[in-house]
C-alpha cells in the first residue's frame, strides 16, 4: 500500500461531469489499495467570479476579506468531490484548510504554509477513506482564513504530500506533462519523461506555467517526488499506465535518462524593463533603487548595472508587467528624488527567453551557442542573466516565438510533434 | 451606546448594489455610535445553486458534505459585505461560524446552537468595528461545519443577540413587518406594530414564514427583543424612524397597544392527513403509531384519536406534505404490522387554518365564532386542535383562501389595505 496525493486543477473540476470523472479516477487508485489524498482547485471560473464581485465593491478590496471570499471556491468543489466519491461507493470526507489544519503566516493573498497537522487526515486514511483537502488555503495564527495566491493549490498538494510523506504527488492538469518548451509556440516540443528538480524550478520561474513555482520549491525542500500528468485521459485507463505517464520531477540525477545539455526553453512575456540613467555610482545606490521597490512588494527579476562613466552609472531592471505602473510610481515619488537619476527609460515590449539544463554545469559553450543562434536570426539581446543551470536574455517581444523556435532546434530538442502534442 | 444585531435575508443581499445598500444602512447605525453585529444570508439563489449541484451528484448527498458546501454561500456574502463597509470607510470584519465560534450539535442540515463565544466579536466591537457573522452555520464538537437548516440565519442572528445581550435583534426582510395574515390572500391584512412572543411563536409554527420558528423559540428562551422590518426602504431614512418601524416581538404584555382577542390568522398548505382505521384501543397504541414516525425524524402536527367502538379506534394525524411518502412507508412497513390496523386512509388535499391571539385566554366564545364563520361559508372541518392562544382547523385545501378571508373579517382584523400593503 502506497500513499498518493492527487491534485486536480480548475479545468478538471469544471463541471459536475468532470468532477464525476475525477471521482472515477480517484476511485480506481483507491480500489487498488492505495491511500489517496485529493487536493482540488475551485471549479474553473469560480475564483474569477468571486474576485469580480469583490472588484465591484472596491478597487482595492481588503486582503483578509478577499481570502475569506476566495476560499469558498475550493471549499465548495471539495465538498462536491466528496459527494461524487460517496455516490460511487467510495468512503470519502472533505476538509477545509483550517480543519486539517494547514497553518500559514498572515500574508493574505499570498500566505506561506508554516505547518500541517497530519493527524486528522491520517486517521481517516487509516480508516479506509479518501481524504479531500481544499487547496489554496490555510489558517493563520490568529484564526483568519488565508489563501496562498494563484495556483496555490499546487503548493497545497505538495505540502500535504510532504507532511504525509507520500510516495508521490500527482498533479493532474490539462497538459500531459512538462515540455521542452510551449508546444503552442514550437509544435516540435517534446514531453520530458523526467526532469530534475532544479530544471523544473528554473522553468517554472521562467514562465512555464505548468506548476506554481512555490510548489516546486516546496517539493525541493521536502524531496517530494512530483508527477505532472493529464486529467483528460480516460479516467479508467490502467493504473500501471497512469503511474508511468506524464513527467516526473525527480531529485536523483542518475535516473535522468536523457542527458541533454539543455533540457528546455522557457519564456515569459510578462516583462517590463526600466532603466535609470545617470545615477551616482557610489555604495548603496543599488539599495536606494531596489529597496523602495521591494518595500512596495514588487518582485524584481533581472538586474544590470553598467560600467560607471564620470561617476554616474545606468541601472536597468525588469519587473512583471502587471507591476509596471506601480513600479513607475515608486520611481518617480521616491527613487528619482533620492538618487538624483537624470532620466527614466521604460520598455514594456520586452520578453525573456531562457535555456535551462542541468548539463550546462559541465558543458562550456552553451551560452555562446545561444547568442550565436539569436544573432543569426537578427535578434538583438538587451540584457543577459545567468545562473548555474540557465541563461536568460531579454529581447524585443515581437521576436519571442522566433527565438524560442530557433533555440529549441539549435539545442536538439525538436521531436516528433505527432507523438507528443499537448491534449488541449 | 446600544448594541444591535442586524439580520439581512438573501433578497437584501441579492446583488452588489443591494449589498452596498445594506452597508449604507449599517453605516448609518454605526455612525450614530451604536455597536452593530450583522448576520447576512447567502446572496439569493446561491444556496439553491449549490444544492442543485449536490443533487446532480446524488439523490441523497451526504449531509456532512452538503453543509460543507452550503455554508460557503454565507461566507462569501459576509466577506462581500465587509468589503462594502470598508469601501464606505466603516471599519468592519467578517467571521464564519467556526471562527466566532458558534458551537452546535452534530445534526448536519438542522443543527442546533449549543453555545456562542462572544469574546472575539466583543473585542472587535469595542475596537469600533462592525462585526459580520455568517448566518446559518456553526461548528460541531468534532470540528465539522454544520448548518442550521433553511432560514437558519434568523436563528443565528437571535442567538448572537442573546449571547451579546443586544438591545434588539433587527430582522431586515422583504416585508415590512408581521401581518394579521398573508396580504397576498387577504388584501385587508394589517401590519402589527407589536406582537407578543407567544403569538409570534404560534404564527411562525403555523406557516407565517416571516421568521424561522426556531429563531422565535430562541428569542423566547433568552428574552431577546426582535423587530421585523423592511430592507427595501431608503437605507438613509432617519434612524429614529427606522427604530420604530416594522413589528416588535415583545415579552411584555402590557406594552401591547392593540388588545384584540385574535391577533392574526395563520395558515399552512403543507399538510397531509393520514388515518388508521381499526387499531386496537389499548395502552401503548399511540406510541406504537407515533414512535416509528418520530424515529424516522418526521414531525407530527395534529393528532386525533376517536372514541373507541368494539375495542378498536380510529387514529388520525397530519404531517408535512414533504414527509408524506416517507410516512406512508413507515406505516406500511412497521405500523400496520405492529398495530393490526384494518385500513389506511390518506388525504393530501388538506390545509390548516388557525386563529391566534393572547386575548383568547380570557375570552370565551372565540372558537365558536370561528366554527360559525366557517359553517356560514359552507366549509367542513375535518380536525380541530387547540392551545391556550390558538385554535386550528384542518379543512379541504380548496377552501383555504375563503376561510382565511372570512375569519380575518369576522375577528375584526381588516384594515385599510392602501396603508399597509407589503412592499414586495
B146 inside domain: yes
Out of A283-287, B132-136, B419-423, least confident range: B419-423
Looking at residue B43, what DSSP letter applies? P
pLDDT score, position B167: 96
Q: What is the pLDDT of residue A225?
A: 94
Residues of A in contact with B93 (CB under 8 A): 64-65
Last residue of a domain, one of A233, A254, A275: A254
Domain contains A185: no
pLDDT at B202: 82
pLDDT at A30 over 50: yes
A296 & A361 share domain: yes
At A91 the three-state DSSP class reads: coil
What's the confidence (pLDDT) of residue A151?
Answer: 74
Residue A216 pLDDT > 60? yes
The answer on B298 and B351 residing in a single domain is: yes
Produce one character per residue of B159-188: b if its CB has 16 or more CB atoms within 10 Å, e if not: bbbbbbebbbbbbbbbbbbbbbbbbebbeb
Burial class (CB in 10 A: 0-12, 13-18, 19+), A235: middle
| Average of per-residue pLDDT across A312-330 | 90
CB contact under 8 Å between A69 and B57, yes or no, is no
Cα→Cα distances B410→B264, B265, B373, Å? 11, 11, 7
Residues B347 and B248 in one domain: no
Stated as kind and residue range, the H or E segment containing A253 is none
- Residue A135 C-alpha cell reads as 487547496
Q: How many domains does chain A have?
A: 2
Q: A188-191 long-range CB contacts below 8 Å, 24 or more apart?
A: A188/A408, A188/A409, A188/A413, A188/A414, A188/A415, A188/A416, A188/A417, A189/A408, A189/A413, A189/A415, A189/A417, A189/A420, A190/A413, A190/A414, A190/A415, A190/A416, A190/A420, A191/A246, A191/A247, A191/A420
Span B241-258, mean pLDDT? 77
pLDDT in tens, A147-194: 998 778 999 999 999 999 999 999 999 888 888 988 888 999 899 999
Any B CB within 8 A of A254 CB: no
Q: Could you tell me if residue B229 is inside a domain?
A: yes
Query: Which pLDDT score is estimated for A98?
Result: 97
Q: What local confidence, expressed as pLDDT, does residue A272 receive?
A: 94
At residue A389, does pLDDT exceed 90?
Answer: no
Sheet with B300-305: strands ordered across: B300-305, B312-320, B264-280, B343-356, B390-396, B383-387
Kindly determine whether residue A75 and residue B72, on different chains, have CB atoms separated by under 8 Å.
yes
Count chain A–chain B contacts defined by CB atoms under 8 A: 110
Give the other-Cβ count within 10 Å of A377's Cβ: 15
Q: How many angstroms separate the CA atoms of A81 and A132, rounded?
A: 8
Q: Using a CB–CB cutoff of 8 Å, tell me whether A147 touches chain B.
A: no
Residue A160's pLDDT is what?
Answer: 96
pLDDT in tens, A71-102: 999 999 999 999 999 999 999 999 999 999 99
User: What residues are paired with A73 via a beta bridge?
Assistant: none
pLDDT attached to residue A208 = 62
- CATH of residue B80's domain is 3.40.1160.10
Q: Does the CB of B339 have a partner CB in chain A at under 8 Å?
A: no
Confidence of residue A421 (pLDDT cuts 50, 70, 90): very low
Instruction: Give residue A311's pLDDT.
Output: 82
Assigned C-alpha cell, A121: 487526515
Interchain CB contact of A286 with B (< 8 Å): no
Q: Measuring CA to CA, how many Å separate A351 from each of A65, A199, A381, B336?
A: 34, 20, 10, 80
Encode pLDDT of A98-150 as tens digits: 999 999 999 999 899 999 999 999 999 999 999 999 999 999 999 999 999 87
Among A16, A53, A65, the residue with its CB nearest the CB of B57 is A16
Whether residues B399 and B318 fall in one domain: yes
Q: Answer yes or no: is pLDDT of A45 > 90.
A: yes
A131: β partners: A37, A93
> At which of B236, B254, B272 does a domain end?
B254
Structural domain contains residue A150: yes
Give residue A218's pLDDT band: very low, low, confident or very high (50, 70, 90): confident
A233 and A330 in a single domain? The answer is no
pLDDT for B143 = 97
Strands in B145-147's sheet, in edge-to-edge order, are: B113-116, B102-104, B137-139, B145-147
pLDDT value of residue B363: 73
Do the domain assignments include residue A260?
A: no
**Percent of chain A scoring above 70 in pLDDT:** 95
Q: Which domain holds residue A203?
A: 3-173+193-254
Are the C-beta atoms of residues B179 and B190 closer than 8 Å to each other? yes
Q: Is B279 on the interface with A (CB under 8 A)?
A: no
Say how far apart CA B393 and CA B375 lie, in whole Å: 12
Phi/psi of residue B413, each to 5°? -95, -15
**In a shared domain, residues B239 and B299:** no
Proportion of chain B above pLDDT 90, given as a percent: 60
Joined grid coordinates for residue B397: 385545501
Nearest to A76 among B19, B72, B98 (CB): B72
Q: Is the pLDDT of residue B217 over 90?
A: no
Q: Which residues contact B35 (CB under 8 A, 6 or more apart)?
A: B1, B2, B3, B4, B125
DSSP-derived 3-state class of residue A58 = coil
A77 to chain B, any CB pair closer than 8 A? The answer is no
pLDDT tops 50 at residue B419: no
- For residue A424, give the H/E element and its range: none
The alpha helices in A185-344, defined as continuous H runs, are 197-205, 213-222, 239-243, 285-295, 324-330, 336-339
Which DSSP string do the residues of B167-193 spell out, in sequence order?
SEEEEEESSSS-BSS-TTT-TT--B-S
Question: Measuring CA to CA, which residue among A242, A232, A173, A246 is closest to residue A32?
Answer: A242
Strand order in the sheet with B35-40: B92-95, B130-133, B35-40, B3-8, B168-173, B226-230, B247-250, B194-196
Give residue B308's pLDDT band: very low, low, confident or very high (50, 70, 90): confident
CA A42 – CA B50 distance, rounded (Å): 13
Task: Give me the pLDDT at residue A184, please.
Answer: 86
Q: Rounded to a whole number, what is the distance in Å from the CA of B216 to chain A's nearest CA?
A: 30
Measured between CB atoms, does A53 come within 8 Å of chain B? Answer: yes
The predicted structure's pLDDT at residue B423: 33
Q: Rounded to 10 degrees, what is the CA torsion of B114, B120, B124, B126?
A: 90
Q: Tell me the pLDDT band of B422, cut-offs 50, 70 and 90.
A: very low
pLDDT of residue A359 exceeding 80, the answer is: no
Residue B74 scores a pLDDT above 90: yes
Residue A200 and residue A144 in contact, taking contact as beta carbons nearer than 8 Å: no
Closest CB to A69 among B54, B76, B86: B76
CA distance A355 to A372: 13
The 10s digit of each residue's pLDDT in B112-122 is 999 999 999 99
Q: Using CA atoms, how far apart are residues B25 and B12, in angstroms rounded to an integer?
A: 11
Q: What is the mean pLDDT of residues A35-56?
A: 96
In a domain, residue B144? The reply is yes
In angstroms, the CA B351 to CA B235 distance is 38
Nearest to A86 among B20, B62, B69 (CB): B62
In this structure, the answer to whether residues A168 and A315 fall within a common structural domain is: no
DSSP assigned state of B310: T
Tell whether A64 is within 8 A of chain B (Cβ): yes
Cell of B43: 446572496
Q: Give ∠ CA B29-B35-B38 in degrees, rounded to 5.
A: 75
> Using 50, 70 and 90 to split pLDDT, how confident is the model at A416?
low
**Phi, psi (degrees; rounded to nearest 5) at B292:** -60, -35
How far does Cα B289 stand from its chain's mean position? Answer: 28
- Report whether B14 contacts B45 (CB < 8 A): yes
The residue from A235, A254, A273 where one domain ends is A254
The CA-atom distances, in angstroms, between B53 and each of A93, B374, B424 are: 17, 45, 29
Looking at residue B171, what is its pLDDT? 95
Say if residues B193 and B416 touch (Cβ distance below 8 Å).
no
Scan for cell 513600479, then name that residue. Answer: A327
CA distance linking residue A10 with residue A151, whole number of Å: 10
Residue B309 has a pLDDT of 75
If one compares B403 and A283, the residue with the highest pLDDT of the two is B403
> Complex ipTM, two decimals?
0.79
Those residues with Cβ within 8 angstroms of residue A97's Cβ, 6 or more apart along the chain or in another chain: A71, A104, A133, A134, A136, A137, A138, A139, A145, A146, A156
Cis peptide before B186 (omega within 30 of 0): no
- Asked if the peptide bond before residue A83 counts as cis, ω within 30 degrees of 0, the response is no
Does A108 contact chain B (CB < 8 Å)?
Answer: no
What's the pLDDT at A253? 60
Give the integer Cα–Cα distance in Å for B416 and B414. 7
Residues B212 and B214: their CA atoms lie apart, in Å, by 6
Q: Is residue A183 part of a domain?
A: no
- What CATH number should be reported for the domain holding residue B347? 3.30.2130.10
Three cell numbers, residue A253:
540525477
For residues B327-354, give the mean pLDDT: 91
CA distance A350 to A352: 7
Measured between beta carbons, which residues in chain B are less than 8 angstroms from residue A58? 83-84, 86-87
Distance from CA of A251 to the nearest CA of B (A): 38
Report which secondary-structure segment, H or E, holds A33.
Answer: none
- Grid coordinates belonging to B114: 449549543
The confidence band for B421, taking pLDDT boundaries of 50, 70 and 90, is very low
Cβ(A265)–Cβ(A413) below 8 Å: yes
Band of pLDDT at residue A315, cut at 50, 70 and 90? confident
- Residue A245, pLDDT score: 95
**Per-residue pLDDT at A207:** 60
Whether pLDDT at B396 is above 70: yes
The pLDDT of residue A370 is above 80: yes
Q: What does pLDDT average to over chain B?
A: 89
Q: Which residues of A touch B133 (CB under 8 A)?
A: none
Q: Which alpha helices (H) appear in A311-381, and where do they start and end?
A: 324-330, 336-339, 366-376
Residue B280's pLDDT is: 85
For β-strands A247-250 and A300-305, DSSP reports them as: unpaired
Query: Residue B407: pLDDT above 70?
Result: yes
Q: Assess contact for B39 and B7: CB atoms under 8 A.
A: yes
Dist CA A148 CA A297 (whole Å): 15
Q: Given a cut of 70, is residue B206 above it in pLDDT?
A: no
Task: Say if residue B111 is in the same domain as residue B221.
Answer: yes
Lowest mean pLDDT among A80-84, B370-374, B383-387: B383-387
Q: Is residue B187 part of a domain?
A: no
Same domain membership, residue A389 and residue A310: yes
Helix B63-87 to helix B16-31 angle, to the nearest 10 degrees? 60
In this prediction, residue A254 has a pLDDT band, given cuts at 50, 70 and 90, of low
Note whether A276 and A243 are same-domain residues: no
pLDDT average, residue stretch A333-339: 88
Q: Which residue of B has its CA nearest to A19?
A: B57
CA atoms within 13 A on the CB side of B336: 15
Looking at per-residue confidence, does B22 or B359 come out higher? B22
Q: Does A311 touch chain B (CB under 8 A)?
A: no
**Residue A281 · residue A312 · CB < 8 Å:** yes
- The mean predicted confidence, pLDDT, of chain A is 89
Contact status, residue B194 vs residue B33, Cβ threshold 8 Å? no
Q: Identify which has the larger pLDDT, A247 or A297.
A: A247
On whether both A126 and A208 belong to a single domain, the answer is yes
Q: Are A241 and A380 in a shared domain?
A: no
Mutate to test the interface with A, among B38, B44, B45, B68 (most CBs of A within 10 A): B68
Of the candidates B198, B210, B77, the one whose C-alpha atom is nearest the C-alpha of residue A68 is B77
pLDDT of residue B310: 80
Amino acid at each position: 500500500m502506497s500513499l498518493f496525493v492527487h491534485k486536480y486543477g480548475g479545468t478538471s473540476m469544471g463541471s459536475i461531469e468532470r468532477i464525476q470523472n475525477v471521482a472515477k479516477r480517484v476511485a480506481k487508485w483507491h480500489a487498488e489499495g492505495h491511500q489517496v489524498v485529493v487536493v482540488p482547485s475551485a471549479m474553473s471560473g469560480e475564483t474569477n467570479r468571486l474576485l469580480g464581485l469583490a472588484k465591484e465593491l472596491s478597487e482595492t478590496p481588503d486582503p483578509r476579506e478577499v481570502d475569506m471570499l476566495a476560499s469558498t471556491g475550493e471549499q465548495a468543489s471539495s465538498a462536491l468531490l466528496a459527494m461524487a466519491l460517496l455516490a460511487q461507493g467510495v468512503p470519502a470526507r472533505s476538509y477545509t484548510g483550517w480543519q486539517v489544519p494547514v497553518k500559514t503566516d498572515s500574508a493574505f493573498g499570498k500566505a506561506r504554509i508554516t505547518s500541517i497537522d497530519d493527524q486528522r487526515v491520517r486517521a481517516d486514511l487509516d480508516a479506509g477513506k479518501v481524504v479531500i483537502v481544499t487547496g489554496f488555503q490555510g489558517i493563520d495564527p490568529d484564526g483568519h482564513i488565508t489563501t496562498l495566491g494563484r495556483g496555490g493549490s499546487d503548493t497545497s498538494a505538495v505540502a500535504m504530500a510532504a507532511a504525509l510523506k507520500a510516495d508521490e504527488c500527482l498533479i493532474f492538469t490539462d497538459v500531459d506533462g512538462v515540455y521542452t518548451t510551449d508546444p503552442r509556440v514550437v509544435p516540435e516540443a517534446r514531453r520530458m519523461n523526467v526532469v530534475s528538480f532544479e530544471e523544473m524550478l528554473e522553468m517554472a520561474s521562467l514562465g512555464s506555467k505548468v506548476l506554481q513555482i512555490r510548489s516546486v520549491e516546496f517539493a525541493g525542500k521536502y524531496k517530494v517526488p512530483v508527477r505532472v500528468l493529464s486529467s483528460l485521459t480516460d479516467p479508467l485507463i490502467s493504473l500501471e499506465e497512469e503511474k508511468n505517464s506524464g513527467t516526473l520531477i525527480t531529485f536523483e540525477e542518475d535516473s535522468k535518462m536523457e542527458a541533454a545539455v539543455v533540457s528546455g526553453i522557457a519564456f515569459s512575456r510578462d516583462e517590463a524593463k526600466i532603466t535609470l540613467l545617470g545615477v551616482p555610482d557610489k555604495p548603496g545606490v543599488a539599495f536606494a533603487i531596489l529597496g523602495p521597490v521591494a518595500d512596495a512588494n514588487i518582485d524584481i527579476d533581472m538586474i544590470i548595472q553598467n560600467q560607471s562613466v564620470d561617476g554616474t552609472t545606468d541601472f536597468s531592471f525588469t519587473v512583471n508587467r502587471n507591476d509596471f505602473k506601480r513600479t513607475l510610481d515608486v520611481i518617480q515619488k521616491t527613487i528619482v528624488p533620492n538618487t538624483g537619476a537624470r532620466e527614466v527609460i521604460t520598455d514594456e515590449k520586452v520578453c525573456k527567453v531562457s535555456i535551462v539544463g542541468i548539463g550546462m554545469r559541465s558543458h562550456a559553450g552553451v551560452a555562446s551557442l545561444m547568442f550565436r543562434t539569436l544573432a543569426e536570426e537578427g535578434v538583438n539581446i538587451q540584457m543577459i542573466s545567468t545562473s548555474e543551470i540557465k541563461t536568460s536574455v531579454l529581447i524585443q517581444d515581437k521576436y519571442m516565438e522566433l527565438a524560442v523556435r530557433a533555440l529549441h532546434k539549435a539545442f536538439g530538442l525538436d521531436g516528433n510533434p505527432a507523438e507528443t502534442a499537448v491534449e488541449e
